[in-house]
Amino acid sequence: MDGGPRTGPVSPPETPGRVPEAEPERQQASYVWPVACSLLAVALLVGLSFLRSARAAVAQDAPQVWVDPAAAQLGHVPEWVDPRWLARVRAELARTPPFDVANVAFLEPLKAALAGLSFVERVEHCALSAEGDLELSLVLREPVACIPSNGDYLLVDDDGVVLEGRWAVPPRRAGAPLPVLAEDALFARARPGDWLVEPEHEDALDVALSLATHLTPAERARLGPVVIDARAARRASVEEPGVRLTLAGERTALFGRAPHSDEPGELAASAKWRALVRALELFALDPVAHDWSLVDLRWDRPELLLVHPPESAPAPATERAPVAEVEEPAARRRDPSRPRVR
């Protein structure tokens, strides 16, 4: 009957909170993974710490790279450079002690010291190469004339800067001595690095530069020593010859105004120099018959004064003295507040 007892297997009732027999393996795995991740993180931290320590030790043990300025190479040196200038540059380089390649702050004082030398126009390059060598490039001031000073001669460049080094006689360039500016009491006080600022000095330098521009080396050598007196350059007129050039053999050339003046009616400087070259060629043809003491270069047809004019015939127009001797200009008033040689 339906109400009688049931036979057959009966499943035991499930107890609340009890894990089935298959669950223990999953529970064990859930504990292993967090522990493994923690161990891995600790290992990574230890490894990174070790690498940092090793890298620091390597950096500490790495040798420093030093730069010795005294070993710097100067490169090409023009033939006109005074050897004493190179010695001064070497002395400045040797005065800077060797420094670590990482400490480039040492370069600035070195550049300033080199730029302060009178014969250095500018420091073109002063830096370290990729190999850690000191690369140095200097633009030097080229001498164009001399000034007499206390029995010797000092060189000046085209800007009028007095350059380092004294000379017993004017040094030679292109086979001829450098032109000399006429004696001036101011030159006795000139020092390397000073600037010539007086108008007569600027005019004389202008003539010296013009001479170097318009005469070939052979013509310059034929001309020989030249003293440029430009004290009257800005007062030039028919009566006042302006710039005077004193040449070898007690010859004189009257030049007029300085080339840069651009005064109306003034003969071009190139024409004046061509006339002087022709006068020298005339003398070379016959040093006795064509010897001359004065040539006036201011005119289209230069006038020549011969030492021995022909007696058989009147002297032609080109062989007469063009002007009377001009007295030396009186001393000018000088403002003591204005620097003469800066």
DSSP annotation of 161: B
Q: What is the pLDDT of residue 247?
A: 96
Q: How far apart are CA 246 and CA 249, in angstroms?
A: 9
Contact 203, 226 (CB under 8 A): no
| Reported pTM | 0.70
Residues 276 and 303 occupy one common structural domain: yes
pLDDT at res. 276: 97
How many domains is the chain partitioned into structurally? 2
Q: Which of 143, 230, 138, 225 is nearest to 192 (CA)?
A: 143
Give the separation between CA 329 and CA 159, rounded to whole angstroms: 26
- The torsion angle over the Cα atoms of residues 277, 279, 280 and 281, rounded to 10 degrees, is 90
Judgement on whether residues 156 and 265 belong to the same structural domain of the protein: yes
Asked if residues 43 and 50 have their Cβ atoms less than 8 Å apart, the reply is no
* Gap between the Cα atoms of 50 and 239, Å rounded: 96
Domain identity same for 182 and 77: no
- Looking at the structure, do residues 245 and 307 belong to the same domain, yes or no? yes
pLDDT in tens, the chain (342 residues): 444 444 444 444 444 444 445 455 555 555 555 555 565 554 545 444 544 454 444 334 444 567 777 778 777 888 899 999 999 999 998 888 887 777 777 788 889 999 999 999 999 888 877 777 788 889 999 999 999 999 999 999 999 999 999 999 999 988 899 999 999 999 999 999 999 999 999 999 999 999 999 999 999 999 999 999 999 999 999 999 999 999 999 999 999 999 998 788 899 999 999 999 999 999 999 999 999 999 999 999 999 999 988 774 444 544 444 433 333 333 334 444 434 454
Does residue 53 form part of some domain?
Answer: no
Q: Which helix (H) or strand (E) holds 88?
A: helix 83-95
The reported pLDDT for the residue numbered 331 is 37
CB-based burial label for 197 (10 Å; 0-12, 13-18, 19+): middle
Both 103 and 222 in one domain: the answer is: no
The residue out of 95, 123, 140 marking a domain boundary is 140
DSSP letter for 233, please.
Answer: G
Helix ranges (H only) for 143-198 are: none
User: Token digits for 88?
Assistant: 């001064």
Residues 230 and 273 in one domain: yes
> Cα–Cα distance between 215 and 259 in angstroms, integer?
14
The boundaries of the domain holding residue 241 are: 143-319
Structure tokens at 173: 């360039």
CA angle 172, 80, 174 (to 5 degrees): 45
Shared-domain flag, residues 97 and 239:
no
Q: Do residues 299 and 160 share a domain?
A: yes
Question: What pLDDT was estimated at residue 128?
Answer: 79
